[in-house]
Amino acid sequence: MNPINPINQLDSKGFTLLEVLIAVFIFAAVLSIIFTSYTGTFRIITETETYADIYGKARIALEKMQEDLESAYIFEMGKTSGFEEGTAQSAQFVGEDKDINGKGADTIRFLSRAHIVLTEEDIDTGIAEIVYYVKENEDEDTLTLYRSDTPGFAKSLEKNTGGLVLCEGLSSVDFKYYSANTGEFDNWDSTEEEFKNRLPDMVSIKLSFVTSSYPEDPFIFMTSVAIPMARDKYGKAS
């Protein structure tokens, strides 16, 4: 019988503690790299989806506002226009510079030929009062932009009520009004002497959206809308 070699007996027992620790370290490093890669990919996908959603909301909102403003209309006050006071058709072009807790929350009200007929019972009067106003979403500390559309002969809605949500997740909504002759304004009221019976030649719109990744750096979308009637009605820019 051959004697057992004690050295061979030790070699057959397996890995040393150092070898196990090295293997665990390498495995943990590989897992860390894979996990970082996957989480980074998922973060990019999530951010891309979020930005795509914001771009979609901004495009829809700006296109609708442009359509409404391009069809803006105004009646000259003091002349018989065939409408009853207090109805939507008696509205004038009024843009107000406002804020909610320091965040831009401008409102704008005007007559437009861009009335949306939603049901068969809804009569298209040709002229409607369009109102854009802003409310705060207290749960998320963001702003929501609303659009109301009241047929011309219906009674005007109470201020900042009614309508449908046009856009959510906003950090500010700002309007500027331009006259070719007198410059830029934060407010416009066609009932006041300065703007009596006049539409602005152009309105600029700025929508700022909150982003979770960069809360201090909102996404900003801007457009400017020329109002044809401002030129057609007066024969030249106001």
- pTM score of the predicted model: 0.74
Query: Rounded to 5, what percent of the chain is helix, strand, coil?
Result: 30, 30, 40
pLDDT 10s digits, 77-96? 555 455 555 555 667 899 99
Instruction: Say if residue 47's pLDDT is above 50.
Output: yes
Residue 208 pairs in a beta bridge with 172, 220
pLDDT 10s digits, 2-16? 555 555 555 556 678
Residue 203 pairs in a beta bridge with 177, 225
Helix H or strand E encompassing 169: strand 164-179
| First-last CA distance in the chain | 118
Q: How far apart are CA 184 and CA 203, in angstroms?
A: 9
Instruction: Say if residue 238's pLDDT is above 50.
Output: no
Q: What is the mean pLDDT of the chain?
A: 81
pLDDT of residue 223: 96
Which among 70, 68, 97, 91 is positioned nearest to 185, based on CA atoms? Answer: 97
pLDDT 10s digits, 108-150? 999 998 877 655 555 555 788 899 999 998 777 899 999 998 8
